[in-house]
Structure formats: C-alpha cells, structure tokens
Chain A
C-alpha cells in the first residue's frame, strides 16, 4: 500500500478514461472481449486493428506501454501451450524451417494467442484505470446480486490483510530456522494453512459482530451513488462499437 490506499493494480490518474463511471467501463471492456472472441481467426488484420484500438485507449488513459506489457506477462503459461499446439494438432502439415507443423495447429495457436492477449490487455486497462471500490460499485450497478458484490468486496478488502497474515506466518517460520525444501515439509505448511483458515474465519465472525453493532441489516449503504450520463455511455461504448465494426468487416471480407 505504497500510494495512499489504492491497490497496487490501480494506476492513479486524471485522464478521461479514469473519469468514466465504472459500470460503463466494465460494460465496454466485456463487450469488447465478446466481439474479439467472435471474430474469425483468418482475419488477421482485424486483430491488428483491435490492438490499435486498445493502444488508443491506453494512450487516452496515460497508461505507459511498459506497465501494460509487464502486466501482460500473466499470460505466459498459455503462450507455452500455444507454442506446443502446431506440433500436436492434426490435419495437413507444412514444413517451416525443417519442422513439420500442422496448419490447423498454427491457426489455433494464433487464435488463442491473439484473442487471449487482447482479452488480458482489456482487463489490465480496466483494472489500472478503475479503483477497486469503484469496480465493485460498477458490478452492483450492472445488476450483479448485492450479496455477491458484498462477498467480493470483503474478499478484496481483507485479501491484503489475510495475505499479510500469511506473510507474517512465513517470517515466523523462517525466523525459527524452518526452510521448506521438499515434500517432507508439507505438514508444517499445511498446519500454517489450517491456522490461516481459522484466523480468517474468526476474523469474519468479529467483522460480522462489528457490523451488527453498527446497524448492519443485510445490505451495505451506498453513499456515493454513481450514474452515467448519455455522453459518458457513448464515450465508453465507442471502443466496443468500433470493434464491432471491425468484426463485421472481418466476417464480410
């Protein structure tokens, strides 16, 4: 929690993208990903255009390219999977640099890589321009069940607390000379996990009592109700609409 009380995923700023109401951004990101997924994989230029669109959003949001690229690294396991695909897939084969690769496999790898990367980039942009609390409020505005939103908000709020508790337990273990190096040490680690569960659950009970003593009756009061004007909606939906145009072109051409 270096910068104020913002989460480390959030990048503070005052750009027009930051200023948009959260539910419009959520809807836009989701619609964009749906459009990307339903684009035919043969239209390679369409994916380039999508990337340009996202780059435009990143520029408008003043999110630096390095930050975005670093966050894209989460995709690496699936890149490995995609690289394997041309070797194991079936169908006719071509020789590239002396390797026999499946044509369908190459298309499949391209499909997963392109769509996956665009999807990850869209969520990274969403998370880095929207504060966590706003994101949860946006989910509630989008008619997600309030109970689900409450659970998610408790998870987000206490996620760092529980993670820190786990870190303190690790430091306590290490300061007593414990070093986990193999399966033999799983017992100790699992006892830590069990203790962590008990602490989390008991903290939940305390949190509930504290809430009840402050008048909680099943729903959280919303004090900063956000509404979106028509202009804001159209501004946010410019991205998926542009993407939809590209997608339709991709199907027609």
Chain B
C-alpha cells in the first residue's frame, strides 16, 4: 500500500506532508509522556520490531501469503502516540533506504498507514475495552475489532486523498470499491494475527500491553488461610460493579451481534428484498406505491452510493445504519435517564432519610 511518487499531485502531497509533520510532532510530545526519558531506545526497538514483523509471512493458501501492517498492533501494545511515531519512523526509513514509497508521497503514506490505522484502532480498542467485561478474552476481542476496522479505514482515507489530488482518471467509485473491498479482506487477516499476537503477549507480560493497563488483577494477601484483597484506595462496591458489568456485557453483545448481522450476514443475504416487497413486486401492488421520501439519500435502498458492488455496499450501509441507530438510541436513552434521575433523586433522598429514622 506504499504510495509511490507521482501518484498524488504535488500540492496535495505538500499539504499531506504538513499534516503528517504536525501529527508526528504531536506524537513526539505524547510519546515522551508515555515513555518519559526511555523514549528513544524503546520506541526505536519497537519500530525495529514493527519493521521485522512486517517481514513475517503468514501463509494464506496454496503459495500466497500475507504480512502484518502493524498499525493496530503498535497502537494496542505501546499506545497511540508511540504507535504513530514508530510506524512513521518505519515508513520514513523504508522511503529513504529501501525506496519503498516515494519521498514526496511520505506525507500521504504517514497519514494513511501510520496515523489512520493507529488512531482508529486505538479508539475502537479503548471503546470496546471500556464496554466489555474486564477479562483477558475481551482484550483479544477488542484488538480483533480494532484491527479489522483500522485497515478499511486506511483505505477510505487513501480514497479521500486520491479524490482530492489523484493524478489518474479512474473514477472515485471504482477506486473506493477496489480499495475498500480488498482491504476489508486484508483487514480480516490483520485482525486475526493482531488478536492472536496481543493474546500471546498478554499471556506472558500483561504489563507490556499498553491498551490493557487498567485490567491488572488486584493484589491478594494470604491472611491465615484465605485470600484477602489488598485494600484499595477507592474501593468499589461489589454489588454496583457486578450490576454494571452484566449490563455492559448485554449492551456489547447486542452491539457486536447487530454489527455482524448488518455488516457480514447481509453481505451473503439473499439479493431479493424481504418477502413483502417481493410479493408486492410480483403482484404489481407496488406500482402505485411512491418512492420513500429519502430515496435520494446516500444510504437509500440499503446501499452506499458510488459503491457499485451490491453486496459490499449493502454491508457497508448496514454497518453505518447500526452505528447511527446506536448513537441515536444512546442519545435518547441518556436523555430519558437524566430526566428520570432528576425526578427520582428527591424521592430517593426521602426514602433514605426515612430509613435512617
């Protein structure tokens, strides 16, 4: 995916270079916060690791093999800032030394492969880790989801840059279809490998996984014959915690299930619309039915515009739809709950006061 010279025109490359330089500057500051004065050797060695692991071949089938891109893995293992920094350094060195990716396209490459993959992966990962129960398995699940989304996101950003400053005359729809289609597949491979690798690291040195720092087990003391938790500075009431975890699990399970259904199952679903529509069409009932008011919207008829592949476009539309639904639903839920809390709080105060008496 390394973009060569001449693929993106000069002004866009220059603008991308400025953005990339800003991103690297920000991540230099951030990495110093994450690693303090150990930044240089540790980030350097992690960059060397990314460089080496990109050469590790994963056989797919009969002769073909793939390799890791590493953005998601870096973000989860060493944190977003250091991750951006390491992948950017790898890209810089690949451009200067190995002529892999053009010198003028360096900015585009950094935005695409270092910035987008790392930031998207880390955001998804943190979000899922917060939502899922605090176990090792959920870290693996979260890293799978992070990596599987990060690669198509990079393809989207590439398509965007191409739309702004591409030098060739291939239509945006075709580029988007080809790039995103291919990278959804690559993303699945990347996700499997990333999840397995994070799982392997977390089994041996959980303290090294930056994204899972909050999941450390509590220290236990053996007092007499039984194990006692070391008292925490801010102990969490056990009942409240378990309650939250179970609700969280339900919420996350529902979200994952609907995403899977919308994104992947609809990919393989029948091209025939649902039974009623088909029947209506067969019997000519729908001849008088008017098109829906939002027929012109970009997601009309459960497909994303400009993406010609019906299945892919349906899947994408499904994922976007679930996303919008979840955001809207959460907003409504949140608003309702706030109002209910506001109503309920005086009453609960009264009852607690009554209990005291």
Contact = CB atoms under 8 A, between A and B. Distances in A.
Interface of A: 7, 9, 26, 29-30, 33-34, 36-38, 41, 71-72, 74-75, 78, 85, 88-91, 102, 104-105, 107-109, 111-112, 114-116, 118-124, 126-127, 132, 135, 145, 147-148, 150-159, 161-163, 165-166, 180-183, 185-187, 189-198, 200-201, 203-205, 207-208, 211, 218, 220
19 contacts: A33-B102, A37-B9, A41-B167, A88-B170, A108-B169, A123-B95, A127-B99, A145-B25, A145-B28, A151-B86, A155-B86, A158-B44, A162-B52, A183-B59, A189-B56, A190-B196, A194-B204, A201-B46, A205-B42
A203 to B, nearest CB: 6
Contacts of B58: 180, 186, 189
B53 A193 contact: yes
Given A180-B59, A211-B41, A193 B7 contact: no
A145 B4 CA distance: 25
Q: Categorize the interface residue count of chain B.
A: 35 or more
B6 A116 contact: yes
A183 B61 contact: yes
A208 B4 contact: no
B21 to A, nearest CB: 10
Given A119-B102, A135-B96, A154 B5 contact: no
Given A154-B41, A181-B59, A207-B45, A114 B97 contact: no
B38 interface: yes
A89 B53 contact: no
A214 B85 CA distance: 26
A193 B69 CA distance: 13
Contacts of A208: 38, 41-42
Contacts of A155: 44-45, 47-48, 51, 86, 89-90, 93
B200 A190 contact: yes
Contacts of B45: 154-155, 158, 162, 200-201, 203-204, 207
Interface SS of chain A = helix
Contact of B197 (A104, A111, A114, A193): A193
Contacts of B46: 197, 200-201, 204
A189 B92 CA distance: 27
Nearest to B97: A127
A151 B52 contact: no
Nearest to B175: A88
A27 to B, nearest CB: 11
B197 A37 contact: no
B22 to A, nearest CB: 12
B174 interface: yes
Given A112-B167, A191-B196, A196 B6 contact: no
Residue of A88, A109, A153, A154 most packed against chain B (CB within 10 A): A154
B60 A182 contact: yes
Contacts of B49: 162, 196-197, 200-201
Interface in B192-236: 192-193, 196-201, 203-205, 208
A75 B199 CA distance: 35
Contacts of A30: 103-104
B37 interface: yes
Contacts of A161: 48
B204 A151 contact: no
Contact of A36 (B5, B38, B52, B57): B5
Residue of B28, B57, B167, B198 most packed against chain A (CB within 10 A): B167
Nearest to B45: A204
B77 interface: yes
B161 interface: no
Residue of B6, B28, B97, B193 most packed against chain A (CB within 10 A): B6
B198 to A, nearest CB: 7
Query: Which 3 A-B pairs have CB atoms at the shortest separation, nearest pair first?
Result: A154-B44, A115-B6, A194-B200
Nearest to B171: A90
Contacts of A195: 200, 204
A173 B68 CA distance: 19
A147 B41 CA distance: 10
B6 A148 contact: no
Contacts of A166: 52-53, 55-56
Nearest to A185: B59
